[in-house]
């Protein structure tokens, strides 16, 4: 399929190492993909679902030991430790290569090796990047064909250019020998002994965040863990926002938000460009422009329903691969906790056991049918609110960058940073509190700068420095904000309704970007005057509630500064002086 010597050499070397029986190029044609789906069904890798109700949809069950990203076994390898550590697991390049070459030796004997040429971003755009993933997993091929653009068009666009090498084998799924290895200095990713999406769909977290963040640092752009959404006002103008949140903060829901009734009636619309990853560059006009490099959604199924996120649910109605959800045997469809209140009575759970929605374990606790991290892999084109700019080669111009986390008390509903560097500081101190849903202490703060803690492909201090340096390159800087949908009252109930009503806060954010509304200056930044958050049509929320959501407790924030200081200390010497200066200013303001 190609004369590209580097591609041919990569395949030949891998063939020698892994010793597959056959090599199959993925050309991206529907005929080839359909044949692979049939083969996967034949081999028991996929279950074909009800084709009338869910055309083109399949179910897959992973091994029970292989259900999530494994941060503990994910490494950033570099020659010098300080270039990756201390937040990342680090291994020296040669040592890691030797380890991986040993593990991959002969691993594909008796198997087929698939060659997947894929493009992150629209094929042929000068901002897109190409990878080649070699894998022995048909599941990976079929998911990559949803999540990225694959096949002949990609290899044609590559010509004799460079690409990111990716090698994956599910091997024997042994946890002790599971490694997700990144070699940013060698443009290489190696993943072994897993077959779970985030570890093996190498275009996603591995390339589009870890490797791409490193490329972005060297080439002057940014790869961020951000959704991108467009808000269309009644005049038909669309403004775009990029937003970063740690997991379990509702990123996919925000990206596909349904406007509240009064906004809908006025003519507001929300358009989704992306729900997970943004590649961001400075445009010729001096603004930031963002693309979503992916072509599908790899969304968490539990909790997705017609109320929380109808657009996501509708995206899964065709050509979708479900992983680790419940199979309803009555009509061969799927179910998961939080889909509706009617679990199937005659079903198979994610582990492959009979299940009926009423089962309890020895302690009397309900046995879940779907794994809490069960997923759908759905094509972006299925999304009813997909932006018509989704394929735009240069992306969309960004008016505001929004950071957020889950904080019960400290962070107000929304605040605006004072300038770019202050905004970088706000991103760097992002954090979420653990919830009662997870094991361990409740309310423990996990720092997750820019929601990139597990995804920065190099030293976190250098990453902060890159953000600061980008500020100098952006003539028309977007404004930077922080939101917190999760403030609670004294009984621990959420005060803000969230979901579609978050548009009310985004409206204020955009008004600030256009200098249309005043704000109050506080120690941490600008907060809204309560009257400027539109509460029309909101039950039980008054201007006083908004006042309450916007209060800043200086004593609490002073305590917060101690946490920030110790986190910066953990990150080591490369945290830029500019951020320490921001911290000092914050302390001074709080003590005033
Ligand atoms: C994801 C994640 O799967 O952030 O998107 O873990
Ligand atoms: Mn993510």
Checking if the pLDDT of 86 tops 60, the result is yes
Task: Tell me which residue has tokens 């500081």.
Answer: 425
Task: Tell me which residue has tokens 């506080």.
Answer: 522
Q: Which of 327, 377, 322 is nearest to 352 (CA)?
A: 327
Checking if the pLDDT of 146 tops 70, the result is yes
pLDDT tier for residue 247 given thresholds of 50, 70 and 90? confident
Residue 114: helix, strand or coil by DSSP? strand
Segments in 309-454 forming alpha helices (H): 310-315, 420-428
The fold for domain 224-295+389-552 equals Phosphoenolpyruvate Carboxykinase; domain 3 (3.90.228)
Query: What would the pLDDT profile of 123-133 be if each residue is shown by its tens digit?
Result: 999 899 999 99
pLDDT tier for residue 444 given thresholds of 50, 70 and 90? confident
Ligand lying nearest the CA atom of residue 201? 1
Helix 93-104 with 5-18: angle, nearest 10 deg: 60
Cα–ligand 2 centroid distance for 276 (angstroms): 5
Residue 25: helix, strand or coil by DSSP? strand
pTM: 0.97
Mutate to test the pocket of ligand 1, among 180, 205, 300, 448 (most ligand atoms within 8 A of CB): 205
pLDDT tier for residue 443 given thresholds of 50, 70 and 90? confident
Residue 434's pLDDT is what? 73
Cα–ligand 1 centroid distance for 519 (angstroms): 34
Residue nearest to atom 6 of ligand 1 (CA): 247
Residue 442's pLDDT is what? 67
| Ligand 1 neighbourhood includes 448 CB (under 6 angstroms) | no
Question: Atom of ligand 1 at shortest distance to CA of 198?
Answer: 3
Checking if the pLDDT of 438 tops 60, the result is no
- 5-44+68-220: what CATH class? alpha beta
Region of 43 (left: φ > 0; alpha: ψ -120 to 50; beta: rest) is alpha
Backbone angles phi, psi at 469, to 5 degrees: -65, -35
d(CA 213, CA 577): 21
Residues of the chain with CATH 3.90.228.20: 224-295+389-552
The pair of structure tokens assigned to 153 is 């068009």
Residue % of the chain over a pLDDT of 70: 99
Question: Atom of ligand 1 at shortest distance to CA of 225?
Answer: 4
| Ligand 1 neighbourhood includes 246 CB (under 6 angstroms) | no
Residue nearest to atom 4 of ligand 1 (CA): 247
Residue % of the chain over a pLDDT of 90: 95
Residues of the chain with CATH 3.40.449.10: 5-44+68-220
Checking if the pLDDT of 584 tops 90, the result is yes
Residues with catalytic roles: 249
Query: What would the pLDDT profile of 389-403 be if each residue is shown by its tens digit?
Result: 999 999 999 999 999
The answer to whether the beta carbons of residues 193 and 170 sit under 8 Å apart is yes
Query: What would the pLDDT profile of 316-328 be if each residue is shown by its tens digit?
Result: 999 999 999 999 9
Segments in 88-211 forming alpha helices (H): 93-104, 138-147, 152-158, 197-200
Residue 435's pLDDT is what? 63
Mutate to test the pocket of ligand 1, among 68, 69, 278 (most ligand atoms within 8 A of CB): 69
Residue 425's pLDDT is what? 98
């Amino acid at each position: 399929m190609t004369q590209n010597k580097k591609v041919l050499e990569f395949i030949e070397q891998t063939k020698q190492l892994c010793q597959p029986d056959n090599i199959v190029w993925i050309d991206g044609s529907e005929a080839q993909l359909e044949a692979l789906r049939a083969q996967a069904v034949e081999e028991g890798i996929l279950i074909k679902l009800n084709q009338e109700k869910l055309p083109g949809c399949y179910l897959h069950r992973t091994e029970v030991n292989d259900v999530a990203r494994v941060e503990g076994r994910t490494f950033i390898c570099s020659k010098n430790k300080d270039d990756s550590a201390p937040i990342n697991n680090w291994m020296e390049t040669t040592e890691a290569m030797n380890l991986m070459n040993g593990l991959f030796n002969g691993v594909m004997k008796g198997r087929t090796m698939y060659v997947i040429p894929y493009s992150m971003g629209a094929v042929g755009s000068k901002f897109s990047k190409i990878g080649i993933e070699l894998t022995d997993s048909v599941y990976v091929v079929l998911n990559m064909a949803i999540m990225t653009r694959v096949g002949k068009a990609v290899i044609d666009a590559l010509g004799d250019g460079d690409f990111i090498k990716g090698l994956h084998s599910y091997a024997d799924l042994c946890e002790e020998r599971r490694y997700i290895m990144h070699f940013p200095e060698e443009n290489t990713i190696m993943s072994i002994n897993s077959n779970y999406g985030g570890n093996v769909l190498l275009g996603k977290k591995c390339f589009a965040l870890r490797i791409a963040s490193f490329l972005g640092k060297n080439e002057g752009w940014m790869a961020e863990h951000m959704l991108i959404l467009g808000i269309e006002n009644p005049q038909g103008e669309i403004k775009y926002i990029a937003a970063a949140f740690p997991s379990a903060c509702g990123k996919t829901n925000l990206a596909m938000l349904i406007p509240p009734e009064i906004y809908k009636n006025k003519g507001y619309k929300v358009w989704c460009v992306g729900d997970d990853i943004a590649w961001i560059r400075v445009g010729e006009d001096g603004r930031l422009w963002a693309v979503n490099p992916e072509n599908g959604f790899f969304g968490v199924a539990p909790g997705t329903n017609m109320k929380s996120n109808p657009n996501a649910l509708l995206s899964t109605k065709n050509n979708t691969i479900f992983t680790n959800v419940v199979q309803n045997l009555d009509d061969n469809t799927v179910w998961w906790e939080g889909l509706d209140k009617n679990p199937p009575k005659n079903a198979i759970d994610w582990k492959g056991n009979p299940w009926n929605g009423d089962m309890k374990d020895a302690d009397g606790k309900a046995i879940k049918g779907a794994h809490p991290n069960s997923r759908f892999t759905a094509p972006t084109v299925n999304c009813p609110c997909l932006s018509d700019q989704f394929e735009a080669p240069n992306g969309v111009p960004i008016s505001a960058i929004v950071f957020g986390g889950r904080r019960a008390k400290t962070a107000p509903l929304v605040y605006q940073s004072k300038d770019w560097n202050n905004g970088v500081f706000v991103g760097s101190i992002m954090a979420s509190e653990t919830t009662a849903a997870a094991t361990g202490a409740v309310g423990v703060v996990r720092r997750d700068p820019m929601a990139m803690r597990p995804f920065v492909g190099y030293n976190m201090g250098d990453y902060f420095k890159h953000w600061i340096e980008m500020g100098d390159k952006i003539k028309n800087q977007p404004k930077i904000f922080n939101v917190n949908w999760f403030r609670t009252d004294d009984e621990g109930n959420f005060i803000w309704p969230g979901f579609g009503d978050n548009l009310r806060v985004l409206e204020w954010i955009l008004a600030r970007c256009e200098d249309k509304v005043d704000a109050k200056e506080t120690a941490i930044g600008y907060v809204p005057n309560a009257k400027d958050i539109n509460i029309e049509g909101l039950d039980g929320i008054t201007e006083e509630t908004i006042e309450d959501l916007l209060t800043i407790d200086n004593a609490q924030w002073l305590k917060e500064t101690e946490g920030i200081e110790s986190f910066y200390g953990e990150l080591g010497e490369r945290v830029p002086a500019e951020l320490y200066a921001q911290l000092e200013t914050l302390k001074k303001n709080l003590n005033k």
